[in-house]
Amino acid sequence: MTEFWRLPATDIAALVRAREASAAEVAKDALARLDAANPAINAVVDHRPEEVLAEAARVDAAIARGEDPGPMAGVPVTIKVNADQKGFATTNGLRIQKDAIAAEDNPVVANLRNAGAVILGRTNTPAFSLRWFTKNSLHGHTKNPWDPAITPGGSSGGAAAATAAGIGAIGHGTDIGGSIRYPAYACGIHGLRPTLGRIPAINLTQPDRHIGGQIMAVHGPLARTIADVKLAFHAMAARDPREPWWAPAPMVGPPAPKRVALCVKPEGLATVPDVEAALRDAASRLEKAGWTVEEAPLPPLRRPAELQALLWLAETRRGFNKAIAAEADPDATFIYAQMEALCPAPDLHAFMDALQARAGFLREWMLFFERFPLALCPVSAELPFPDQCDVESMESFRRIMEAQLTQVGLPLMGLPGLTVTTGLVGRTPVGVQLLAGRYREDLLLDAGAAIEAAGVPATPVEPVR
């Protein structure tokens, strides 16, 4: 029997579209893999096998009628529990939302279905999707399949752990401060944070977000190959009129010089030697593939990171304190207290000043990308952290916040970023981050493919128990 769970999404879709395999066969194999691998990592926290098989049957029926099943025909995907999926609770890792049953799909979920994907299950997130670690009081603790002693990342830690372990070919994630890019890094796969407005997404189980969340939070794919990231990204980006930020930008932009700015220690970041080695290795891979790489400082990220926190917490402070108290998740309570201590509540003038400053920082970055269409920098200054070390002390939390500078700074400008896994340090994954201008995910994916071609960790990985 073919082990479809080992195959990339591009291969699965090609087999199903050519009728060399049925979506039902793929789905049964995916469910078997979920049963075998998930108990060790607790990445998928809700799934209904009968619905998975019914979705696969619809794909097969469309093919039998001679209809186009879509570019992701039969591909098993997972959905993070903070996105509406019809008939399921949008828990966001919270006991207080365990009954928030969605009446309709979030546009990103609908787009995946319309592309022929089969939704395999729903993946874990920390309470309130608040951390770079994945544990909550409702669904429990997600483990990294490479090594349970290190974080799987967060907040899309369930998506990354599942994808790395072969539970679905594609994981859906969200990113307002690295929540796609960091789990991909920690689990040895790739993850794309798209440009603001690329992928339509809205949860109708909740009120619309305030302006901070609207201009910084995005949805995107995690996958084991760059080709799969591209396939899922194109499917997720289809128009949906429910999303007012969606932009009809072309998926491929005009030709750009193959010039990359390498920045190992942006704004004095204390990048550790193993991460620096990965960056210089990736730069060498790009040079061998025809890119010109030049070491250069990046535009500001430190002040944008401060403003990102200001705008995000300005949103969460409106009733969020009550939700934190009601949920009473000890880790979330500790983390939120640390975040508030780092970012005092703004008055109206400070809030307006932050939005005004955003335009200037975005202008700086867009001018930078005129000279260097791509930037190569750390995902994190350190290798993936020991699991749960963010709640050990205030000092540990602040060390982690500093290491994650590039993740937190980028969302203020709504810019895209791609994590590319590059190798292992022992059993610990390492990788790099590529940045580009608005709507230039095509450049990120082209460069990511060149880096990937020179070698990445072998996945799917059998979870370490």
Tens digit of each residue's pLDDT (9 = 90 or more) over 418-438: 999 999 999 999 999 999 999
Please say if the pLDDT value at position 331 is more than 70: yes
- In 3D space, the residue among 398, 462, 400 whose CA is nearest the CA of residue 188 turns out to be 462
Quick: pLDDT tens for 171-206. Answer: 999 999 999 999 999 999 999 999 999 999 999 999
The position carrying tokens 């396939």 is 231
Name the β-bridge partners of 261.
Answer: 294, 375
Please say if the pLDDT value at position 1 is more than 90: no
Q: Write phi, then psi, for 454 (nearest 5 degrees).
A: -90, 5
Q: What kind of architecture, by CATH, is found in domain 4-453?
A: Alpha-Beta Complex (3.90)
State the sign of the Cα–Cα–Cα–Cα dihedral 460, 49, 41, 463. Answer: negative
The position carrying tokens 């429910």 is 242
pLDDT band at 317 (very low <50, low <70, confident <90, very high): confident
Give the least confident one: 30-39, 305-314, 350-359, 362-371: 305-314
The position carrying tokens 């963010």 is 390
CA distance 218 to 247: 13
Read off the tokens for 442. Answer: 């095509």
Please say if the pLDDT value at position 162 is more than 90: yes
- Identify whether the C-beta of residue 190 lies closer than 8 Å to the C-beta of residue 426: no
- In 3D space, the residue among 161, 150, 126 whose CA is nearest the CA of residue 34 turns out to be 161
Read off the tokens for 456. Answer: 């990445």
Once rounded to an integer, what is the mean pLDDT over residues 369-391? 98
Once rounded to an integer, what is the mean pLDDT over residues 264-274? 98
- Identify whether the C-beta of residue 79 lies closer than 8 Å to the C-beta of residue 141: no
- Identify whether the C-beta of residue 23 lies closer than 8 Å to the C-beta of residue 72: no
CA distance 200 to 244: 8
Q: Write phi, then psi, for 78 (nearest 5 degrees).
A: -115, 155
CA distance 298 to 301: 8
Q: What is the pLDDT of residue 137?
A: 98
Mean pLDDT score of the chain, rounded to an integer?
97
Quick: pLDDT tens for 434-459. Answer: 999 999 999 999 999 999 999 999 99
Q: Write phi, then psi, for 76 (nearest 5 degrees).
A: -75, 130
- In 3D space, the residue among 415, 389, 397, 341 whose CA is nearest the CA of residue 151 turns out to be 389
Q: Is the bond leading into 137 cis (omega within 30 degrees of zero)?
A: no
Q: DSSP label at 154?
A: S
Please say if the pLDDT value at position 314 is more than 90: no
Instruction: Output b/e per residue, 221-249; b: 16+ Cβ within 10 A.
Output: bbbbbbbbbbbbbbbbbbebeebeebeee
- Identify whether the C-beta of residue 25 lies closer than 8 Å to the C-beta of residue 63: no
Once rounded to an integer, what is the mean pLDDT over residues 4-21? 98
Give the active site residues.
80, 155, 179
Amino acid at 447: A
Name the β-bridge partners of 220.
Answer: 173
CA distance 163 to 392: 28
Percent of the chain clearing pLDDT 90 (strictly above): 96
β-pairing verdict for 170-175 and 44-46: unpaired
pLDDT band at 345 (very low <50, low <70, confident <90, very high): confident
- In 3D space, the residue among 438, 387, 371 whose CA is nearest the CA of residue 411 turns out to be 438
Long-range contacts of 211-216 (CB under 8 A, 24+ apart): 211/311, 211/315, 211/355, 212/311, 212/312, 212/314, 212/315, 213/176, 213/312, 213/315, 214/245, 215/245, 215/311, 215/358, 215/414, 216/176, 216/308, 216/311, 216/312, 216/411, 216/412, 216/414
Q: What is the pLDDT of residue 319?
A: 77
Please say if the pLDDT value at position 313 is more than 80: yes
- Identify whether the C-beta of residue 423 lies closer than 8 Å to the C-beta of residue 457: yes
Q: What is the pLDDT of residue 212?
A: 93
Please say if the pLDDT value at position 312 is more than 90: no
Once rounded to an integer, what is the mean pLDDT over residues 215-243? 98
CA distance 102 to 90: 7
pLDDT band at 383 (very low <50, low <70, confident <90, very high): very high
